Structure 1
Amino acid sequence: MVKELSHRLTSPEQASSPAQSLPGPVLPAPSNLPSFRVATSPPPETFDGNREVCRGFLLQCQLAFQRSPESFYTDEIKISYIIGLLRGKALRWAEAKSRNPHFLKSPLDEFLADFKMTFDKPESAAEVARQIWSLRQGKLSIADFAIEFRTLAATSTLDEASLKGAFSQALNEQLQDQLAFCQEPPDLESLIALCSRMEKRHKVRQRVDSGCELNLLDQQLVEQLLVTTFPLQTPYRVSSLDGGSLTSITHKTAPIRLMTS
């Protein structure tokens, strides 16, 4: 029996039979997806306890957490990151709270609730509405005033008609007078765009009509409108009402047709 087993193991048929080959490694199919890299952003600014910027500070921290979830994978790490950005009275508050050993290891929601209760500036819907209706444009341009108005409007519960009324009331009298002759815009953004166009036209008129005895144009307006100019043989001296010398006119324009509305 042993000889028969030895014969089978050394028989030519068994030795010559090809061995089964193992499957080779499978290479991944090339991906057609475009590669991208997350843009790096500067760290949030430090927070010294100013209640006016509390929400903005927390928003920047939240964005930092979302950009690097692999770095901020626990609430304890997020809390430590926020505390590392505190300065002044905000840092003194954190130092006092940290005497409780559970403070730094509390859930993030509890930490933020405590943080907002101390440093946030909660405002009721009525308070926001009051601030909106008390706004005035003053010496601000429409672009700058619109930023201030939109910021408050974003947190208000006023409807579109009320926001349009508040914005119109806050404008300077000159713009309010011009709006009286215009069709009412359908929404706040259309109203802001209309006022911006009227403001630009008013500035152009101010440059053209300067109260001078001659017809003069501002140099910046000439360059902006690409008006052709020619040098004067004899420059004009410009004087103020008290006789003081202001400047000299050295060029004249080609004939132009000015249309105003």
Structure 2
Amino acid sequence: MDSASALELTEFLSRSMSRMDQQEEQMKATGHAVQALVAQVSELTQQLQRLSVPAAPTTPPVPPTPIPPYHQPEPRMPTPEAYSGEPSFCRPFINKCSLFFSLQPQTFASEQSKVAFVLTLLTGRAAQWGMAVWENHHQCCTSFQALSEELRRVFDRAVTGREAARVLADLRQGNRPVSDYSIEFRTLAAECQWNEEAQWDMFLHGLADRIQREIYVLDLPRSLD
């Protein structure tokens, strides 16, 4: 091969190597561009996914649990005895129920609870009357006060006023203990409203003779109590 041919071959190879280098550089640049494009597409895809997911509802703040007010324990009281309609026990029964309610105001906070409680304590003919007024929605079932007044009107036959004074004037101890005589005497005396001197004289007059003989030899007390 002559020198001219060798020179041409060398130039050809040089140009070929240069083109190959250029192509390699282009391929590298294209690869970087593709990688950047893939990263952008991935970022856009993640953003779209975040936008498509519905936002979780905002949970309202939980209000603090209120602290219940302190209630002093109510005293334990024996339940009033049942009432069957005896005239002489009507007012004591009502008074016991009233005391029971006053000592347990939390348990019996409503008039309905008081009325229902009283009706459950009625027996015998009093229970028959109570069920009748309850089933007929009588006005007395609206409050304890109204029920008490109706109970007194129907069952209470205790003597009062002049009748109590008449019974008290005829009252005698007889063969009873003095304690029994004293209870009946004070019950009637509270109804007739005599003064203390009159009550004292009538009390002595009603005592049995054997008791009077024992008392008169002693110094009498200054008051009936």
TM-score (norm: length of structure 2): 0.60
Contact 2:90 2:155 in 1 (8 A): yes
In structure 1, C-alpha distance between the alignment counterparts of 2:181 and 2:194, rounded to whole Å: 18
Equivalent residue for 1:96, pick from 132, 140, 155 = 132
Q: What do residues 120-171 of structure 1 show as CA deviations (whole Å, max 9, x unaligned)? A: 1243311111121211122233333223322322333111111111111112
Equivalent in the alignment of 1:40 = 76
SS at match of 2:122: coil
Instruction: Give yes or no for the alignment of 1:119 onto 2:158.
Output: no
Corresponding position of 1:72:
108
Is the CA contact 1:79–1:111 (under 8 Å) kept in the aligned structure 2? Answer: yes
Structure 2 CA distance for aligned equivalents of residues 86 and 175 of structure 1: 41
- Map Cα deviations across residues 155-210 of structure 1 (whole Å, 9 max, x no partner): 33111111111111112223434555556543212xxxxxxxxxxxxxxxxxxxxx
Aligned partner (choices 70, 75, 95) of residue 59 of structure 1: 95
Instruction: Please give the root-mean-square deviation of Cα atoms over the aligned residues, in Å.
Output: 2.4
Q: Does the Cα contact within 8 Å between 2:160 and 2:191 map onto a contact in 1?
A: no
May I ask how many residue pairs the two structures share in their alignment?
Answer: 154
Structure 1's 181 and 104: CA in aligned 2 closer, same or farther, altered over 3 A? closer
Code of the residue aligned with 1:113 in structure 2: it is E
Q: Residue 251 of structure 1 aligns with which residue?
A: none
Give deviations 1:3-52, integer Å, cap 9, x for gaps: xxxxxxxxxxxxxxxxxxxxxxxxxxxxxxxxx96542210111111111
Structure 1 or 2: more helix by fraction:
2
Among 206, 211, 218, the alignment partner of 1:170 is: 206
Contact 2:84–2:123 (Cα < 8 Å) also in 1 = yes
Q: Paired residue for 1:152, among 172, 188, 199?
A: 188
Equivalent runs, 1:219-238 vs 2, <5 Å? none
Q: Distance in 2 between matches of 1:161 and 1:143?
A: 20
Q: Give the strand-richer structure, 1 or 2.
A: 1
Distance 1:145 1:115, change over 3 A: closer
Identity of aligned residues (%): 29
Shift of 1:70: 0.7
Equivalent pair of 2:84/2:125 in contact (CA under 8 Å): yes
Do 2:112 and 2:143's aligned partners in 1 also have CA atoms closer than 8 Å? Answer: yes
Secondary structure at the aligned position of 2:191 is classed as coil
Pairing 1:110–2:146 present = yes
Aligned partners of 1:172, 1:104: CA distance in 2, in Å?
A: 45
Deviates more, 1:93-102 or 1:53-62: 93-102
Q: Secondary structure at the match of 2:118?
A: helix
SS in structure 2 at match of 1:139: coil
Please list every run of 5 or more consecutive structure 1 residues that lacks an aligned counterpart in the other structure: 1-35, 190-261
1:83 is displaced (CA, Å) by 0.5
Structure of greater Rg: 2
- Give the direction of change, closer, same or farther, for the CA distance of 1:144–1:95 in structure 2 (3 Å limit): closer
